[in-house]
Amino acid sequence: MTPEQLRLQQSQERTMYWKRWGPYLSERAWGTVREDYSADGAAWDYLPHDQARSKAFRWGEDGLAGISDRHQQLCFALALWNGRDPILKERLFGLTGEEGNHGEDVKEYYYYLDNTPTHSYMKYLYKYPQSEYPYTNLVEENRRRGRLSPEYELINTGIFDEDRYFDVYVEYAKASPEDILIRLTISNRGPEEATLDLLPTLWLRNTWS
């Protein structure tokens, strides 16, 4: 029996709660019907990305490369800043159904590289541009295009030219169900030195609104 098989057995028998912590934190809570409080029933458009940082979510939380306990009471995620963006990178950016020419769409590059069944080991990669993130350009250009036109993607903006971006690797490893090691590895892929502010964040989910 492998160590992971043993963890699965302990989890099934409820002798050790290996699945208590995992990738249960949503990458984005904007643009979902759960957070709709519109007067006209425009559920998919009520909460776009631009308002997400100013709202207290009622039914969940979101974060970048984050984890939480299974009841999502305590959350952990990253916040990034390249020194040029007008806001912190705290969640994935994207378009609502009306903003995107093919409907709702996240405009980011991120990869799930590994995850065991008990979440005893997880690895994630996010690619963060060093230039100012083209939030407005992505919204306006995709809104301008018709349904028969191709989507306007982040890479089409030229922001990754000359590999001017950071690879942000996030790894989680459990020594026990409650003892979790978090390792962050940042690589500058560009030709010059660049600054990245990294803010690991731990917070309690809003349960009082």
**Could you tell me if 81 and 196 are in contact, meaning their C-beta atoms sit under 8 angstroms apart?**
yes
In a domain, 209, yes or no: no
Residue whose entry in the numeric block shows the structure tokens 């020419």: 101
Say if CB 16 and CB 177 are below 8 A apart.
Answer: yes
Residue 163 lies in a domain: yes
How far apart are the C-alpha atoms of 143 and 103, rounded to whole Å? Answer: 10
Rounded to whole angstroms, what are the CA distances from 28 to 166, 170, 191? 21, 18, 31
**CA gap 166, 109 in Å, rounded:** 11
pLDDT at position 208 is 76
The pLDDT of residue 5 is: 96
Q: Which of 100, 59, 31 is nearest to 206 (CA)?
A: 59
> Is residue 50 assigned to a domain?
yes
Alpha-carbon gap, residue 96 to 99, rounded angstroms: 5
Give me Rg for the CA atoms of the chain: 19
Q: How far is residue 208's CA from residue 156's CA, in Å, rounded to a whole number?
A: 42
Q: pLDDT per position in the chain (209 positions), as tens?
A: 999 999 999 999 999 999 999 999 998 888 887 787 888 877 777 878 887 787 888 888 999 999 999 999 999 999 999 999 999 999 999 988 788 788 788 999 999 999 999 999 999 999 999 999 999 999 999 989 988 889 999 999 999 999 999 999 999 999 999 999 999 999 999 999 999 999 999 999 888 76
What is the rounded CA–CA span in Å between residue 80 and residue 91? 10
The residue segments making up the domain with residue 44 are: 3-204
What pLDDT score was predicted for residue 209?
62
Q: How far is CA 113 from CA 65, 116, 171, 173, in A?
A: 12, 11, 10, 14
According to DSSP, the β-strands at 74-81 and 197-204 are antiparallel
Number of separate domains in the chain = 1
Residue with tokens 């207290």: 56
Angle at 101 between CA 97 and CA 103, to 5 degrees: 30
